[in-house]
Amino acid sequence: MSSLTLKTGNKPPSHITGAMIADMFIASYQLIDKHIELVNGLNVFPVPDGDTGTNMAMTMKAVSAAITNTLNSESNDLDDISRVMARASLMEARGNSGVILSQFFKGIAQGVGDKKSLDVEEWAICMEKAKESAYSAVGNPTEGTMLTVIAEVSRQADVSSKNGDTLESLFNQTSIQIKETVKNTPQLLPILAEAEVVDAGAYGLDIIFEGLRRNLNGLPVADVEIPVPGMKNYKNFALPSKIFLTQSINQEYGFCAQVLISDNVTQTDQIKQTVSQIGDSVVVINESSMLKIHAHVKEVEQLLEYAQTLGKVESHSVDDMDVQKEEFAAGHGKSNHAEITSLISVVDGMGIKQIFIELGASQIIEGGPNNSPSVSDILAKIESAPSENIIFLPNDKNIVLAVQQASELTKKSVEIVPTQTLQQGINCALEFDSKNDLLKNKKHMVNSIKEIKSAEISTAYKNTTLQGVTVSAGEFVGITDGKLITSASTIDEVLGNLLNFEGHNDVELVTLYRGADLTIEESEAHYEQVASKFQNIEFELIDGGQSHCVYMISLE
Amino acid sequence: MNIKIVVDSISDMPSELINKYGINVMPLIVRFGEDEYKDGVELKADDFYKRVASGEWPATSVPAVGEFAELYKSLSNEADGIISIHVSSKLSGTYNSAVQGSAHVESDIPIKVVDSKQASMGIGMLALVAAKAVENGDDLETVYSKVNSAIPKVQCFALLDTLEYLQRGGRLGKGAALIGGLLNFKPILRLSDGEVHPFARPRSRRKGINKLVETAMEFGNLQEAAVMYSTDSAETSGIIESLNTLTPDNTDPLLARMGPGLGTHAGPGALGIALLTN
């Protein structure tokens, strides 16, 4: 029996027979099978694993195969067909979406009982049963999902039954209502709104009902694409962006910020990664040399600080999202962990600043050996930090006193981790965890001060003899832990001497932070040179951009 | 009493233990494109990591409800009770599939399905608790309650070579803070509350391994410990030597290979420890 029989008579069918329902669900399978990737791409709930489409299609495949088997061998009676559909979907149900589908088929089988055909009223009873069993199968029924769609299908069937609608009209109306429901899922399930998608399973059901409707109306299903309701740009919705969006689960709204930046050279992917640590719903667009960042952030300052490291900030806008935030929290029934401890660091150089932001610093103070921040600068940063507990990284012994004074002028609790170099500061910041309390953070961070050795290479500005080393103006000097170790006319030589002096057998990793006065080409040449000379050490070259020395070096 | 234990393939339990305690393993589905394999049955770890190394991207699917129903049904012929322990429900739909499967077994034998809130040998630790209780002759309720009270005592940490696999599979959760930017580091993750959380950001692999050992040491004496690896078993030796100072009678911790299912998310070059603390 094929759907063509439906078109032979002028009168549309008033009853669904076994042969018809068989054809209809086979068509549904064929349709959803072509939409697997589209459905997978939307999948963020309940587990963002991108397999809802696969699971629904596999479940429908089992249903379709079982129908075909039954038609070939036994019967095309409605009661037999609905029983095998229920059994096949149950046995092969994959994932949550498969389970809910199998309950849907169970409901149909219950509604059919031993009937050989269904009219609109009887179909409505099937859908009522399907709704009941679908809701009961899920431990914690969540709206904005397949369940909501099934409830809507049941409601529409009931309306059509009372209106005395035809079968065709019933299925056409049902598809229209499903699309509206799918469109509304983000309003019911905040995770979807945050990820800017509709529910994957709900869309899957839309496809399945499109299959039913199309078959009933004698319309083709091959080469048909069912658009995702409510998502105009669904074709461009790629999985990688979903990865960033799913990281935002359980995060909080705060402000919707947009920043426009010119002269950016950093790669879009890298910016996305960093911004998604500061906020969520991150969108980064790089177009005709302008960079646009959109993100939902709790604190705007951190985003702007970071944006400034990328280039020239042309404009920014900030919208308060408190209303959505309350709805979000209400929908979720739980509040989110706020930052317990904030990290403030003194930095020198764009790259160094970016590293501290990436490692979780919420406030940054520009400073350094010849550019100490004032007590009031420090106090202002402490007061604007998002939490009451502050870990402060001075990264220079000459700044500690000012921080101590500032900490006496605030009600906030400030713990100073006495780092004397930026290298130490970075190593400590690696241990920072905003969800830990102040003392736990301090303990972990203080322990890691001594884990690395700090060295630097600077330019000598005059002839002098220091700590027994004779230095001529224009030469490069190598310093470790504040002591002048070596001087030479080339950076290569100073670098080699420093590493030899340090007894490089214990050293595993050397990080070179390129200063602002060196070009990338120059520093890559130094890197090549030193890496080939000390082959048992791993070297890493980072664009630090500091002004106080040619190279900052950490040895560990 | 004849109580059967079921775990899923994400538990990475070594075959010696599976055989010793007669544990039943429900395989997840591992996919490379269109090709589907039963985790550990149709696809072994060596072949899996070889294909991953050659640039293929794996994915996993949960076992079908019907598969669970059938396994439980076949076990119910010989057992008086079943305890079925599964990967954290926040990471996979497997637990849910098992719960649904158990509801469709038309038999009187009780089936207890446990959300381990864990992965890999973190699940294995709980299966061992169950196995020892069964060996002890406990009834199903007692076994179930022993396993439940052991859940908060299980600790599981992993040092990954890259977060790429976890990210691709969408399991990163709050691990976002571990994504490297300018500075490279090797992420250490912790399973807590059933989710993957960032734990530490060591800058080198050696430091990462030391950090795993230090972390274990902070828990003091252990009831049981396991060391897991995905591709390099040699790296486990140092961890094993340190951990056996913490185990009863200083026995070596169990050594387990992260199978294709877990490896889909942990990737090559992963190391882990699972601890059953006191």
- Do the beta carbons of residue A146 and residue A97 sit within 8 Å? yes
Superfamily of domain A337-451: Phosphotransferase system, mannose-type IIA component (3.40.50.510)
User: Does residue B127 sit in the same domain as residue B259?
Assistant: no
Q: Are A90 and B185 inside 8 Å of each other by CB? A: no
pLDDT tens figures, A3-53: 444 444 456 789 999 999 999 999 999 999 999 988 987 876 666 666 788
Stronger pLDDT, A289 or A203, i.e. the higher one: A203
The mean per-residue pLDDT over the stretch B109-131 comes to 97
For residue B233, what is the domain's CATH number? 3.30.1180.10
Q: Which of B96, B176, B185 sits opposite A247 (nearest CB)?
A: B176
Chain A neighbors of B167, CB-CB under 8 A: 243
Q: Is the pLDDT of residue B75 over 50?
A: yes
Q: Are A358 and B168 inside 8 Å of each other by CB? A: no
Q: What is the ipTM of this complex?
A: 0.78
Chain A neighbors of B104, CB-CB under 8 A: 90
pLDDT tens figures, A483-537: 888 999 999 999 999 998 877 668 889 999 999 999 999 999 999 999 999 998 9
Chain A neighbors of B102, CB-CB under 8 A: none
Whether A454-555 and A337-451 are alike in CATH topology: the answer is: no
Task: Please tell me if residue A55 touches chain B, with a CB cutoff of 8 Å.
Answer: yes
Tokens representing A208?
Answer: 């399945």
Q: Are A139 and B169 inside 8 Å of each other by CB? A: no
Task: Write b or e for each residue in B256-277: b if 16 or more Cβ atoms lie within 10 A of its Cβ, otherwise e.
Answer: bbbbbbbbbbbbbbbbbbbbbb
Q: Is the pLDDT of residue B28 over 70?
A: yes
User: Does residue B125 sit in the same domain as residue B163?
Assistant: no
Task: Please tell me if residue B94 touches chain A, with a CB cutoff of 8 Å.
Answer: no
User: Does residue B120 sit in the same domain as residue B216?
Assistant: no
User: Does residue B79 sit in the same domain as residue B116?
Assistant: yes
Q: Is the pLDDT of residue A327 over 60?
A: no
Task: Please tell me if residue B185 touches chain A, with a CB cutoff of 8 Å.
Answer: yes
- Hunting for tokens 């926040």 — which residue is that? B90
| Beta-carbon-side half-sphere exposure of residue A434 (alpha carbons within 13 Å) | 23
Tokens representing B238?
Answer: 């140092």
Q: Are B170 and A48 inside 8 Å of each other by CB? A: yes
Q: Is the pLDDT of residue A437 over 70?
A: yes
Stronger pLDDT, A94 or B38, i.e. the higher one: B38
A110 sits in which H/E element: helix A95-112
- Phi, psi torsion values for A270, nearest 5 degrees: -65, -40
Q: How far is A279 from chain B (nearest CA, A)?
A: 10
The mean per-residue pLDDT over the stretch B224-233 comes to 97
pTM for the complete prediction?
A: 0.68
Per-residue pLDDT, B161: 92
The last residue of one of the domains, among B132, B150, B168, is B150
Q: How many residues does chain B have?
A: 278
The last residue of one of the domains, among B120, B150, B180, is B150
- Give the integer Cα–Cα distance in Å for B151 and B142: 14
- Give the integer Cα–Cα distance in Å for A107 and A120: 15
Between positions 123 and 142 of B, the ones with CB within 8 A of A are none
Q: How far is A316 from chain B (nearest CA, A)?
A: 23
Per-residue pLDDT, A89: 87
Chain A neighbors of B96, CB-CB under 8 A: 96, 99, 139
Nearest to B65 by CA among B89, B27, B20, B99: B99
Per-residue pLDDT, B263: 97
pLDDT band at residue A313, thresholds of 50, 70 and 90?
Answer: confident
A137 to chain B: closest CA residue: B100
CB pairs under 8 A between A and B: 125
Full residue range of the structural domain in which residue B217 is found = 153-277
The mean per-residue pLDDT over the stretch B47-68 comes to 93
Q: Are A426 and B62 inside 8 Å of each other by CB? A: no
Per-residue pLDDT, A243: 36
Nearest to B24 by CA among B88, B98, B89, B93: B98
Q: Which of B69, B181, B201 sits opposite A430 (nearest CB)?
A: B201
pLDDT tens figures, B83-105: 999 999 989 989 989 998 998 88
User: Does residue B194 sit in the same domain as residue B107?
Assistant: no
Domain A454-555 fold is: Hypothetical Protein Tm841; Chain: A;domain 3 (3.30.1180)
Alpha helices in A409-479 (DSSP H): 422-429, 438-447
Task: Please tell me if residue A122 touches chain B, with a CB cutoff of 8 Å.
Answer: no
Chain B neighbors of A277, CB-CB under 8 A: 176-177, 179
User: Does residue B146 sit in the same domain as residue B42?
Assistant: yes
Tokens representing A285?
Answer: 């667009």
Q: Is the pLDDT of residue A326 over 80?
A: no
Q: Burial, A501: exposed, middle or buried (Cβ in 10 Å; 0-12, 13-18, 19+)? A: middle
- Give the integer Cα–Cα distance in Å for B2 and B79: 5
B62 to chain A: closest CA residue: A95
Task: Write b or e for each residue in A77-109: b if 16 or more Cβ atoms lie within 10 A of its Cβ, otherwise e.
Answer: bbbbbbbbbbbbbbbbbbbbbbbbbbbbbbbbb
pLDDT tens figures, A159-187: 999 999 999 999 999 999 999 999 999 99
Per-residue pLDDT, B212: 96
Nearest to B120 by CA among B266, B16, B239, B17: B266
Task: Please tell me if residue B62 touches chain A, with a CB cutoff of 8 Å.
Answer: yes
pLDDT tens figures, B138-194: 999 999 999 999 999 999 999 999 888 887 776 665 445 455 567 888 899 999 989
Task: Please tell me if residue B96 touches chain A, with a CB cutoff of 8 Å.
Answer: yes
Nearest to B90 by CA among B12, B195, B2: B195
- Hunting for tokens 């630090």 — which residue is that? A544
User: Does residue B11 sit in the same domain as residue B68?
Assistant: yes
Per-residue pLDDT, B136: 96
A54 to chain B: closest CA residue: B61
Q: Are B167 and A243 inside 8 Å of each other by CB? A: yes
Q: How many residues does chain A have?
A: 556
Chain B neighbors of A430, CB-CB under 8 A: 183, 185, 201-203
- Do the beta carbons of residue B62 and residue B30 sit within 8 Å? no
User: Does residue B8 sit in the same domain as residue B141?
Assistant: yes
User: Does residue B19 sit in the same domain as residue B107?
Assistant: yes
Q: How far is A174 from chain B (nearest CA, A)?
A: 29
Kindly state the greatest CA–CA separation across chain A: 108
The mean per-residue pLDDT over the stretch A241-263 comes to 52
Task: Please tell me if residue B90 touches chain A, with a CB cutoff of 8 Å.
Answer: yes
Alpha helices in A113-199 (DSSP H): 120-137, 146-163, 167-188, 190-195
- Do the beta carbons of residue A454 and residue A553 sit within 8 Å? yes
User: Does residue B121 sit in the same domain as residue B194?
Assistant: no
Q: Burial, A338: exposed, middle or buried (Cβ in 10 Å; 0-12, 13-18, 19+)? A: exposed
Per-residue pLDDT, B71: 96
Task: Please tell me if residue B160 touches chain A, with a CB cutoff of 8 Å.
Answer: no
- Give the integer Cα–Cα distance in Å for A507 and A533: 14
Nearest to B150 by CA among B162, B138, B142: B142
Superfamily of domain A5-233: DhaL domain (1.25.40.340)
Q: What is the CA radius of gyration of chain A?
A: 32
What is the architecture, at CATH level 2, of domain A240-336?
2-Layer Sandwich (3.30)
Determine the 3-state secondary structure of A78 from DSSP: helix
- Hunting for tokens 């713990």 — which residue is that? A415
Determine the 3-state secondary structure of A145 from DSSP: coil
Chain B neighbors of A98, CB-CB under 8 A: 64-65
| Sequence ranges of the domains in chain A | 5-233, 240-336, 337-451, 454-555
Determine the 3-state secondary structure of A396 from DSSP: coil
pLDDT tens figures, A126-162: 999 999 988 887 666 889 999 999 999 999 999 999 9
Task: Please tell me if residue B36 touches chain A, with a CB cutoff of 8 Å.
Answer: no
Between positions 521 and 540 of A, the ones with CB within 8 A of B are 538, 540
Per-residue pLDDT, A303: 86
- Give the integer Cα–Cα distance in Å for A460 and A462: 6
What value does the mean pLDDT of chain B take? 92
Per-residue pLDDT, A2: 43
How many domains would you assign to chain B? 2
pLDDT band at residue A247, thresholds of 50, 70 and 90?
Answer: very low
Per-residue pLDDT, A289: 64
The mean per-residue pLDDT over the stretch A465-487 comes to 86
A365 sits in which H/E element: strand A361-366
- Do the beta carbons of residue B239 and residue B271 sit within 8 Å? yes
pLDDT band at residue A64, thresholds of 50, 70 and 90?
Answer: very high
Per-residue pLDDT, A322: 44
From A155-169, B195-209, B213-227, the region with the lowest mean pLDDT = B195-209
User: Does residue B36 sit in the same domain as residue B126?
Assistant: yes
Per-residue pLDDT, A319: 58
The share of chain A scoring above pLDDT 90, in percent, equals 50
- Give the integer Cα–Cα distance in Å for A52 and A32: 11
Q: Is the pLDDT of residue A407 over 60?
A: yes
pLDDT band at residue A401, thresholds of 50, 70 and 90?
Answer: confident
For residue B8, what is the domain's CATH number? 3.40.50.10170
A269 sits in which H/E element: helix A268-278
Helix (H), strand (E), coil (C) string for chain B: CCEEEEEEHHHCCCHHHHHHHCCEEECCEEEECCEEEEECCCECHHHHHHHHHCCCCEEEECCCHHHHHHHHHHHHCCCCEEEEEECCCCCCCHHHHHHHHHHCCCCCCCEEEEECCCCCHHHHHHHHHHHHHHHCCCCHHHHHHHHHHHHHHEEEEEECCCCHHHHHCCCCHHHHHHCCCCCCCCCEEEEECCEEEEEECCCCHHHHHHHHHHHHHHCCCEEEEEEEECCCHHHHHHHHHHHCCCCHHHCCCEEEECCHHHHHHHCCCCEEEEEEEC
